[in-house]
Structure formats: C-alpha cells, structure tokens
C-alpha cells in the first residue's frame, strides 16, 4: 500500500528559524549516519522515515560517506523517496555533505572544487534528486584555500543543485572567515553542523557557538546523546548488542569508564526528578538556550524516534539543575 502521511503531522512539532534566514527547521531532525546502510533492514528504514515524517520531522540529514558502504545511506533513502516519500518532496528538507574520504585517489576527499562538485553530482544521482536543500562542506581542509571551497559552495547554489549551504566540524575562527567570503559571494550560508552534548562542549570552547550567534547562523547538533551514552543504554555497563560491543568505530569500551557510568547514573537521577528519560533531558539540554536550531537524532527503530520527540514536552531547566548537570559531566566533557 502506498504511504500516506499523517494529516496531523504538523500539530505538535515546533519549528525554529535557522539563524537570520527564511528557513525553518524542526526542533528534532533525523540523521541517517547509522542504520541506513547495506547492513540495515530496509523495511525498518522505511518505518523510521515514515514515523519521523508523520510526527513533523521534515529534515533528513545525510552525507556522501554514510553507510556502510559509503553512499549506501543515500541509495536507500533515494529508494524510499522514489517508492513512498517522493510526493512530499516539497515538504521535506534534505541535506547532504562532502569532505571525508569517498573514493580512491587525490580527488576523493577534503575541499577542492573538483571533489565537492563531483561528490554532489553523485549524491543527487544516488537519491534521484535535482537538488538538495542544504549542502555542507563536511570538515575544514588545512590545504585547500578556504576561498576555493567557499566559491565552490556558491557555484553549487548558482547552478541550482542546492538551495542553501552549511559547514560542518568548523571552529569559530574558520566559520567567521567562511561567513565573510560567502557574504561577499551572496551565497546563502545559513547553518553550522557540529557535535554538541552534555559530554562534548567543544563548540563552546572553540568559539563556534558564540560566532554563530554573532553572525546570525543556525546550529544543528549531531551526537546530542553522545553516541547513546546519554540514554538508559549503559546505566548497568555495556550490553552485548550495543554499538560499543558490535561496532566500536565511533564509541569504544575504553571511553566508558566506571567513573563515567557513575556520572551517567547521576544524570539519570536528575532526569527522573524532572519526570523525563535521560535521553529527553540530554536533548533538552542542547536546545536549552535557543541558540541551537535543531538536534539531529539517530535511531535503530521507530520507537526511539518517538521517545526522542518527547523533548518537545520538556520543561525549562532551573539554575540548580544546570549546576548539578555540570558537576556530574564537566570532568568527562571534551
């Protein structure tokens, strides 16, 4: 049976303006970093996308190298678009990125015009799209002149292959330099994508968060649950079916010390006192001051998406709660 979106999908989601742009992002967005590759169950992928869209999650975030294997997340999402979600394309925000290793040889990564242009063409083909809504440069390139990379982003917008551009994993200094160049090129640079969570305060330390406010850019936070450590998943150690046990590429057992598990348990107690799950509280913490436009959540099943959406019901933090969270987490924070 052909998918039909829930008629009430926009009734509960909250949408935030992305910096000073005209674009609104859902408070919660769906990231396809994990569980949409060749090792995932296709029917489960569809169920997650349908669940997200049925609850007002309009933004689906990809990258050229998401898999496994690289490119497979875009291939699977493209199939879902073709078979079910395509009728809703104009209600959806679809983003992709380029910057990390994608193919062999000197033109398959970083930030050259050659690589970024070819990569986006490949991404559009994999997803069956004429354009993406946001195209990101995925990481700072220490060798390619920033001017070349930013001119390429501007050219991509002029070509009609992206409506807006963003940068990911940049610090505050390079973000401000990029913003200056893109402003001169009249390119709609509107958003920064960076890791941010209770356990990762890097964007506060490297000036990105403050610079984004000053320059009127949005922020979308990835890994807001710190690879699942800010959930009830690891309260009693490392489960045999957890990401640490089965993958270990992005989260290693050595990172989850007994001291850190003790801190996670303490954070969980604060969440309980607030009448929330730890995940709900952790997402609310990222969004607490109105600077972060949206949180990117990943999921392995639809129920996790529904649980994350409970952040929309969260109450503001008290000063005392924030102090307790800092006391438990700052010793482990990046």
In this structure, the number of other CB atoms found within 10 A of the CB of residue 322 comes to 14
Q: Which two tokens stand for residue 314?
A: 């969260």
Neighbours of 265 (CB within 10 A): 15
Q: Give the pLDDT confidence score for residue 237 in this predicted structure.
A: 73
Q: Answer whether 68's CB lies under 8 Å from 32's CB.
A: no
3-class DSSP state for residue 292? coil
pLDDT level of residue 115 (50, 70, 90 thresholds) = very high
User: What rounded mean pLDDT belongs to the chain?
Assistant: 95
Rounded to 10°, the helix 146-158/172-184 angle is: 50
Phi-psi category of residue 252: left, alpha or beta, with phi > 0 → left and psi -120 to 50 → alpha: beta
pLDDT at 258 over 60: yes
| pTM (two decimals) | 0.95
pLDDT at 252 over 80: no
pLDDT surpasses 60 at 83: yes
pLDDT band at 248 (very low <50, low <70, confident <90, very high): low
pLDDT in tens, 124-175: 999 999 999 999 999 999 999 999 999 999 999 999 999 999 999 999 999 9
Indicate if the pLDDT at residue 251 is higher than 70.
no
Mean pLDDT for the stretch of residues 101-115: 98
Look at residue 313 and tell me whether its pLDDT is greater than 90: yes
Instruction: Give the whole-number percent of the chain exceeding pLDDT 70.
Output: 95
Please, which residues have CB within 8 angstroms of residue 200's CB and are 6 or more apart in sequence? 223, 226, 333, 334
The arithmetic mean of pLDDT across residues 70-92, rounded, is 98
Alpha-carbon gap, residue 57 to 84, rounded angstroms = 16
Residue with tokens 């010793």: 331
The most distant pair of C-alpha atoms in the chain lies apart, rounded to whole Å, by 54
pLDDT at 253: 65
* Angstrom distance (rounded) from CA 334 to CA 199: 6
Q: Which fold has domain 15-234+279-315?
A: TIM Barrel (3.20.20)
Spans of all domains in the chain: 15-234+279-315
Dihedral sign for Cα 273, 275, 280, 285, please.
negative
Q: Is 312 helix (H, G, I), strand (E, B) or coil?
A: helix
pLDDT at 6: 98
Q: Give tens-digit pLDDT for 189-244.
A: 999 999 999 999 999 999 999 999 999 999 999 999 998 999 998 888 776 666 56
Pairing mode, if any, of strands 24-26 and 15-17?
antiparallel
pLDDT over 80 at 307, yes or no? yes
**pLDDT for 8:** 98
| Sign, CA torsion 231/34/292/94 | negative
């Amino acid at each position: 049976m052909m998918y039909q979106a829930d008629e009430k999908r926009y009734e509960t989601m909250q949408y935030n303006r992305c910096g000073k742009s005209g674009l609104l992002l859902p408070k919660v967005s769906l990231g396809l970093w994990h569980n949409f590759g060749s090792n995932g169950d296709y029917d489960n992928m569809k169920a997650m996308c349908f669940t997200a869209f049925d609850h007002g999650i309009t933004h689906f975030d990809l990258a050229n190298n998401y898999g496994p294997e690289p490119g497979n997340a875009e291939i699977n999402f493209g199939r879902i678009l073709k078979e079910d979600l395509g009728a809703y394309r104009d209600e959806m925000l679809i983003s992709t990125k380029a910057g990390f290793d994608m193919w062999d040889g000197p033109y398959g990564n970083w930030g050259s015009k050659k690589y970024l242009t070819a990569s986006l063409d490949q991404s559009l083909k994999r997803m069956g799209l004429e354009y993406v809504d946001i195209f990101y440069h995925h990481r700072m390139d220490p060798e390619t002149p920033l001017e070349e990379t930013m001119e390429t982003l501007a050219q991509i917008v002029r070509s009609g292959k992206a409506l807006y551009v963003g940068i990911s994993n940049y610090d505050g200094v390079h973000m401000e330099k990029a913003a200056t160049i893109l402003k001169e090129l009249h390119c709609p640079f509107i958003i920064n994508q960076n890791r941010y969570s209770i356990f990762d305060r890097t964007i506060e330390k490297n000036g990105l968060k403050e610079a984004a406010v000053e320059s009127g850019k949005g922020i979308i936070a990835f890994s807001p649950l710190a690879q699942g450590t800010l959930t009830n998943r690891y309260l009693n150690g490392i489960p045999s079916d957890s990401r640490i046990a089965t993958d270990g590429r992005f989260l290693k057992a050595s990172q989850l010390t007994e001291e850190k598990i003790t801190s996670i348990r303490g954070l969980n107690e604060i969440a309980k006192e607030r009448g929330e799950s730890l995940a709900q509280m952790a997402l609310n913490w990222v969004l607490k001051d109105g600077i972060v436009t949206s949180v990117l959540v990943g999921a392995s099943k639809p129920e996790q998406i529904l649980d994350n959406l409970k952040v929309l019901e969260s109450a503001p933090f008290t000063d005392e709660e924030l102090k307790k969270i800092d006391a438990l987490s700052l010793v482990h924070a990046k």
